[in-house]
Amino acid sequence: MPTSLSGRDFLKLLDFTTPEIKYLLKLSRQFKNLKLTGTPHRYLEGKNIVLLFQKTSTRTRCSFEVGAMDLGMGVTYLDPGSSQIGTKESIEDTARVLERFYDGIEFRGFAQADVEALADNASVPVWNGLTTEWHPTQMLADILTVQEEFGEDVSGRTLVFMGDCKNNVARSLMVVCAKLGMNFVACGPEDCMPAADVIDACAPIFEEMGGTCKLTTDVTEGVTGADVVYTDVWVSMGEPDEVWGPRIAELTPYRVTSEVMALAKPEAIFLHCLPSFHDTNTAIGAQKAEQFGITEMEVTDEVFEGRQSRVFEEAENRMHTIKAVMYATLS
Ligand code: CP
Ligand code: NVA
């Protein structure tokens, strides 16, 4: 039976089967081809979507907006301060209003329970644009980038996440690796390891799909032989300011440097969901440099700008993959 995701929410990758994830990746490649050849694809003309952001964004917002416009849809953007949600109106009531206006709802916020509540109360598809627990649209772009490098079949490839392995991106990477038969390595300090809920959920999937999952505090053990080295910021959106000091102290040994990349396969690539603190050309980067005396955080500028880095291809792929998610669920 052909795969159909019509009417489905996109809240976390654990909700999707391996064939469904592969279908979204295939659709993404087709949309990328249409975009790059300048072929119009206004397949969803007449529909409208709303984007609800309780946290800041560049890539996710722009991907939903451009993706929707390319598909012929209208878009409303609601920033953290300009709707009633959370302050004067509950998520449940907001959902029951927005479903009457819109064909789909994107939500970026804090608790996963919030996006789940939105989906439970809205009859239209709800897409998770990042919560504290998960960042599922990011993973599609990441794997599309891996496929572009190594071919469509990514099973057996090894992806190492370095640093804060308990965050939304690392958790989601563990799931997508499990679903696609890849090997996942979380490399970071003991107290930054993924929580038991995600490890337990992924264990039977790794078993079934033939991939492996390793948690290690040892950089050499973690990175040797990797195909993909991935990192993310050391402090995620919504975390308190006080965590910066301890996080910098415990995660500095897990910074992705040229020496770390040299442990991976010669053809390995470097990925980062972005934004990244690879220099001091940001307000926060400059502030932390002054406060803690470090000019680079999770990745050195050399690696970020180096030959193995695919971070801007990965960022572009957010647009093609988010377009695929919208098309698959709205058509
Ligand atoms: N990677 C990512 O989600 O980027 P934004 O925070 O800019 O959307
Ligand atoms: N872990 C990061 C990802 C940003 C795209 C955060 O939640 O801030």
Give the pLDDT confidence score for residue 267 in this predicted structure.
98
- The pLDDT of residue 2: 80
- Gap from CA of 236 to ligand 2 centroid (Å): 5
Distance CA 170, CA 174 (A): 6
**What's the CA gap between 85 and 52, in Å, rounded?**
9
Residues involved in catalysis: 108, 135, 138, 232, 273, 318
Identify the pLDDT of residue 86: 81
Written as six digits, the tokens of 253 are 């040994």
Q: How far apart are CA 128 and CA 106, in angstroms?
A: 6
- In the block, residue with structure tokens 């722009």: 62
How far is the CA of 152 from the CAs of 65, 143, 213, in angstroms? 27, 9, 21
Q: What is the DSSP string of 86-122?
A: TTTB-HHHHHHHHHHH-SEEEEE-S-HHHHHHHHHH-
pLDDT tens, residue by residue, 118-132: 999 999 999 999 999
User: Hey, what are 86's tokens?
Assistant: 């959370």
Query: What per-residue confidence (pLDDT) applies to 82?
Result: 83
Pocket lining: 284 vs ligand 2, CB cutoff 6 Å: no
Whether 256 and 162 have beta carbons less than 8 Å apart is answered as yes
Please report the sign of the dihedral spanned by the C-alpha atoms of residue 31, residue 35, residue 40, residue 45. positive
Task: Measure 265 CA to ligand 1 centroid, in angstroms.
Answer: 28
CB of 138 closer than 6 angstroms to any ligand 1 atom: yes
Three-state helix/strand/coil letters over 130-172:
CCCCCCHHHHHHHHHHHHHHHCCCCCCCEEEEECCCCCHHHHH
CA-to-CA dists, residue 211 to 68, 155, 172, 177, 272, angstroms = 35, 7, 15, 7, 22
Regions of the chain where pLDDT drops below 70 = 1
Q: Which atom number of ligand 2 is nearest to the Cα of residue 168?
A: 1
| pLDDT given for residue 126 in this prediction | 98
Residues 127, 137 contacting (CB under 8 angstroms): yes
DSSP 224: T
**CA distance between the termini of the chain:** 17
Alpha helices in the chain (DSSP H): 18-36, 59-70, 91-101, 112-121, 136-150, 168-179, 196-209, 219-223, 244-251, 258-263, 283-292, 301-304, 311-330
d(CA 321, CA 327): 10
Ligand 2 centroid to Cα of residue 60, in Å, is 11
Q: Which of 63, 144, 273, 284 to mutate to test the pocket of ligand 1 (most atoms within 8 A of CB)?
A: 273
pLDDT in tens, 255-291: 999 999 999 999 999 999 999 999 999 999 999 999 9
Give, in order, the Cα–Cα distances in Å from 271 to each of 7, 84, 261, 298, 312. Answer: 31, 37, 11, 12, 9
| Four-point Cα dihedral 240, 237, 234, 300, nearest 10 | -130
